[in-house]
Amino acid sequence: MGSVLLLLLLLLVAAHPGGGRVQGPQDEQVPGLKGSPPAPVGTSANFQVHISPELVAVPPGDSVWLNCSHNCPLPGRSSLHTQLRQGQKVSRPGWVSYQLLDVRAWSSIVRCLVTCAGETREATARINAYKPPRSVILEPPVLEGRMYTLRCHVTHVFPVGFMVVTLRRKGRVIYFERLERFTGLDLANVTLTHVLRAGPQDLWQPLTCHARLNLDGLIVRSSSAPVMLTFLDWSPVSIALASTSIVILMGILLAVGAAYLRKYLVTQLPA
């Protein structure tokens, strides 16, 4: 039916060269049929794909939404390419919003491809999963023999494998550890232990613990409050022994007191 109409229209236009006045939805297609260049569906030249946000950081295990938009006037075909697990999807003319679930890889590239009038363009985004430490705590040094044991706790951090933990005395590095061997995909707590032989010159020098995440150039730093080395630091064992001896002493005093009281009562009681 449509083609018959078109044919009629063509005949009409051919018969009356001035017949361009004929109006109708078919008008636009006539030039195409005559073999002249197609009307500009336009755009292909400045057809653009955009993804938003282009860089996003989430704590491990979180999900994230990415919005892939384009200016193709036709219904463009859009798809997302990623190793991450995809969740829900919301499509509207001009954009598609994609949900990505349970992001645990520390860094992922996501590509959105849109095809418009046979041409495909793409936009990329990067999703990083990391979490700065909730806390960095250096315990008071414990003196055992002539050695101090230093323990530094770094809590709720990710990715541990990208972390370096450093102990400093008066700002100068005395020990550090790279934690590359940790490849877990969850938030983790890490305890670094270091045994230090300290001399008198180390007394009253501030000790600090530092956690540093190096995420391909993005540096995240956290530090502990300083603690001091003093010879008054007692190991838990000596504290336990000290408490025991206090309890024993109290016991002896009580026993002695009770004995006196009894003697006193006995002497005061009427015969």
Ligand X SMILES: *[C@@H]1O[C@H](CO)[C@@H](O)[C@H](O)[C@H]1NC(C)=O
Q: Which is nearer to ligand X, 62 or 144 (CB)?
A: 62
Binding pattern for the stretch 184-203 against ligand X, x by CB under 6 A and - elsewhere: ----xx--------------
Q: Which of 62, 74, 95, 226 binds ligand X (CB under 6 A)?
A: 95
Q: Which is nearer to ligand X, 9 or 159 (CB)?
A: 159
Q: Which of 43, 71, 107, 155 binds ligand X (CB under 6 A)?
A: 155
Q: Which of 29, 67, 99, 222 binds ligand X (CB under 6 A)?
A: 67
Q: What angle do CA 250, 254, 260 make, to 5 degrees?
A: 145
| C-beta atoms surrounding 158 within 10 Å | 24
* Cβ-Cβ contacts under 8 Å for 202 (sequence gap 6 or more): 169, 196, 229
Q: Does 182 bind ligand X (CB under 6 A)?
A: no
Binding residues for ligand X, rule CB under 6 A, total 7
Q: Does 69 bind ligand X (CB under 6 A)?
A: yes
Q: Which helix (H) or strand (E) holds 99?
A: strand 95-101
| C-beta atoms surrounding 165 within 10 Å | 24
Q: Which is nearer to ligand X, 91 or 120 (CB)?
A: 91
Q: What is the DSSP string of 116-178?
A: ETTEEEEEEEEEEE-B--SEEEEPPPEEETTEEEEEEEEEEEB-GGGEEEEEEETTEEEEEEE
Q: Which is nearer to ligand X, 97 or 108 (CB)?
A: 97
C-beta separation of 87 from 102 below 8 A: no
Q: Does 222 bind ligand X (CB under 6 A)?
A: no
Residues that bind ligand X (CB under 6 A): 67, 69, 95, 97, 155, 188-189
